[in-house]
Amino acid sequence: MSDHPKPFQRLLLTGAAGGLGRVLRPHLGQWAEVVRLSDLDGLGQAGPGEEIVHADLADRGAMLRLLDGVDAVLHFGGISVEAGWNAILQANIVGVHHLYEAAHAAGVRRVVFASSNHAIGFHPTTTQLDADSPTRPDGLYGVSKCFGEQLARFYYDRFGLETVCLRIGSAFPQPATRRMMVTYLHYEDLIELIRCSLFAPRVGHTIAYGMSDNDALWWNNSKAAHLGYRPRHSSRVHAHLFPDSAAYPAADDRASQYQGGPFVSTGPFYD
């Protein structure tokens, strides 16, 4: 044990083998004496200060065991793309309920919930949103994120379990499409947003949009100002990749008329 204890004794990251889980994993040890990593598989060997626990979100007993002794949770587990109803139901709806049930039972202080911009994907690109804008999911995946946000609200109102719901935009090394020039979230800004979400004195039930300091603005984070998040990066450094970005959205392209982009036309997938 360090002579200067870290803020958390045990921090849990679910979905640790996923794309963003792999980005976050190397950074979490600075905040916790023990980082518990969970996924179905693909986690490799535990490093210093790490614990690996394979668990299925849909398994209530496994989730109760997973949350035992945990102070705070970064919930990045579940399905992160549009999929069939049964898969979404088990991983993203039943699973998130099990997570909150177990977190409450374990006395967890705070959850950072990886929500998604697809919870509001059917808003037009001409509309600027804030935390109080109504949800308009663009698929079953988006519906599951709306459920998670509302479940988090219930657990705060009923039990005082605080959550920051991050409506993550497009977290990639660089924008891959013109749409991502608006929704881009640099990895370093993602890590900073998570740090702010963990350490802000009180967050209650906060909805924050996960974006860098991009020039075009669909989302307004003023109602999450208490987090203290100040992005340091911007998609503007990648503007040369999309010289016609000023023409976005195209009036005749459904995917560019709505904030969810191609998700508004993906699926539904039937089981």
Alpha-carbon distance values, 133 to 44, 120, 207 (Å): 41, 8, 10
- How far is C-alpha 106 from the geometric centre of its chain's CA atoms? 22
The three-state (H, E, C) secondary structure of 11-28, written as one string: EEEECCCCHHHHHHHHHH
Task: Please name the amino acid found at residue 144.
Answer: S
141, 155, 209, 258: which is the annotated catalytic residue?
Answer: 141
Helix extents (H) in the chain: 19-24, 60-67, 85-88, 95-106, 140-159, 180-183, 187-199, 254-257
Contact (Cβ atoms closer than 8 angstroms) between residue 101 and residue 186: no
The set of residues, in sequence order, having a beta carbon less than 8 Å from that of 190 and lying 6+ positions away, is 20, 23, 24, 168, 171, 210
* Beta carbons within 10 angstroms of residue 246's beta carbon: 11
Closest CA to 143 of 161, 121, 125, 163: 121
Closest CA to 182 of 167, 191, 170, 165: 170
Q: Is 100 a catalytic residue?
A: no
Tokens 């299925």 label which residue?
Answer: 56
Taking phi over 0 as left and psi of -120 to 50 as alpha, with beta for the rest, 159 belongs to alpha
State the first-to-last Cα distance of the chain, in angstroms, to the nearest integer: 49
Which 3 state secondary structure label does DSSP give 257?
A: helix
As annotated, the active-site residues are: 141
